[in-house]
Copies of this chain bind each other. A is one copy, B any other.
Amino acid sequence: MITSETKIQVRYDEVDKMGYVYHGNYARYFHISRTDLLRKVGICDKELESQNIILPVIEISIKYLKPVFYDDFITIRTKLLEMPEIRIKFQHEVINQHNEIINVASSTMVFVDVNTRKPMIVPEILHSKIESYLKHNDQ
């Protein structure tokens, strides 16, 4: 439905003593890429937060296929395949500079009202922004 790509160069502090990007750091990369996808659609997570809506992650799953090394250039390809209702689910792929698939993953978030700390349905603005984006970009 909607695809976004984020390019990242691996930082020194992201690599462990095996010389690989520390496996826990991919969750951070996926986060950056989700933010980029939402921004492309016209939604800024910072603005949602200023409206007291936060998006905690409720599920993440990663299959690691190959390591990534310091200074490597990677692409995080993130897809939103379904219109979000009470959850928003993303598919992720990390690809290195040799066009090899490094890992595949998915992550799911919910929308939470900061004041009640309870889940809420997806904000209307998100639906309308996604529909508007899809109308103007046939993918």
- Which residues of A come within 8 Å of B, CB atoms? 11-13, 15-20, 22-25, 27-28, 31-32, 35, 44-46, 49, 54, 56-65, 67, 70-71
Query: How many copies make up the complex?
Result: 4
* Closest Cβ–Cβ distance, residue A92 to chain B (whole Å): 13
CB nearest neighbor in B for A23: B57
B58 touches A64 (CB 8 A): yes
Q: Which residues of B contact A24 (CB under 8 A)?
A: 13, 24-25, 27-28, 31
Docked-complex contact B54 and A18, CB < 8 angstroms: yes
A12→B17 contact, CB < 8 A: yes
Given known contacts A23-B57, A64-B57, is B17 in contact with A15 (CB within 8 Å)? yes
